[in-house]
Amino acid sequence: MALQILQTIENISSIPTLPTVIERLTRLLQNPKTSAEEVGKAITTDQALASKVLKLVNSAFYGFPGRISTITHAIVILGFSTVKNVVLTASIFDIFRNKGEGMAGFDLEDFWLHSIACGAASAAIAKQIGGLEKEECFIAGLIHDLGKLILCQYLPDEFRSALQHSAENRQLLYESEKKLFGSTHAEIGGYLTERWNLPTNLQNPVKYHHQPSPAHDNHPMTAIVHCADILVRALDYGNGGDAHIPSLSEQVGKSLDLDSIDLDALLDSIHAEVEKASVFIQWT
């Protein structure tokens, strides 16, 4: 059954794709001789995307309100990898915003806020514990439940029954999905991140955010997203389709050293990050 679900998805030709500029950027950034102008040129070939990128870098979210006028300027100030993350974020938002209708028990506005808040919370945790790139953690959190969008759009009957099962049996959505059709939104989202050729530090948090284990690569990033998902559910930022909260993995608690973390300060900083992410409120 699980295989069947993945095969169904594999055969859907209209499944969302990332703009080709992302792949070009990845290739350009692998070459140390690439100049800011070349990267700028690659981005501006997609005018709509370029203007969104400028809007983002000039928002409170990236901390340069209204001061960056061109893509090349942005690269000089923010660096290649941040700009690439901004382009990726903008592209993902475009995909999220065009995903049609929700359904009973799965409101797209609520889901959207759950995703943004999870991204913001991931960034806040990364900031507090240090050592990981904040913008990348934001993206990982933002896309962690991507599989739900795919289910909602391409397998609506299966998804509807999982939502119902989860509400009636007070189970987490991924548990109901596993039970009803043998696969989960984490696997399906993970499959999409592979198809998009995203780096494994973005693939793995999507795949394992409900089953984090130090045995998988990029465990720190996955641990952050696992914890962020729990915190934003507790704070009721949006709604990802189920009413309960998963239990924090003990290993995640250890690897984030949750015993010595100042949770009050963390919750404040999550709120501040969510506020900054409100630039996405006008995303169209």
Structure-token pair, residue 77: 């100030």
Please report, for residues 50, 122, 223, the alpha-carbon distance to residue 86 in angstroms, rounded to integers and kept in the order given.
10, 16, 23
Does position 175 bind Fe ion by CB under 5 A?
no
Does position 145 bind Fe ion by CB under 5 A?
yes
CA-based nearest residue to 232, from 116, 126, 102: 116
Does position 238 bind Fe ion by CB under 5 A?
no
Region for residue 244 given its phi and psi (left: phi exceeds 0; alpha: psi -120 to 50; beta: otherwise):
beta
How near is the Cβ of 41 to other proteins at its closest, in Å? 31
| Member of 46, 136, 229, 273 binding Fe ion (CB under 5 A) | 229
- Name the one range near Fe ion by CB under 5 A: 54-62, 68-76, 139-147, 252-260: 139-147
Please report, for residues 29, 90, 133, 237, the alpha-carbon distance to residue 43 in angstroms, rounded to integers and kept in the order given.
12, 12, 22, 33
Count CA atoms within 13 Å of residue 149 on its CB side: 27
Q: Which is nearer to other proteins, 15 or 129 (CB)?
A: 129
Note the residues at the interface with other proteins (CB under 8 A).
Answer: 60, 109-110, 112-113, 170, 230-231, 233-235, 237-238, 243-248, 250, 253, 258, 263-264, 267-268, 271-272, 275-276, 278, 281-282
How near is the Cβ of 16 to other proteins at its closest, in Å? 20
> What distance lies between CA 214 and its chain's CA centroid?
20
- Name the one range near Fe ion by CB under 5 A: 76-84, 151-159, 229-237, 253-261: 229-237
Binding site for Fe ion (CB under 5 A): 145, 229, 240
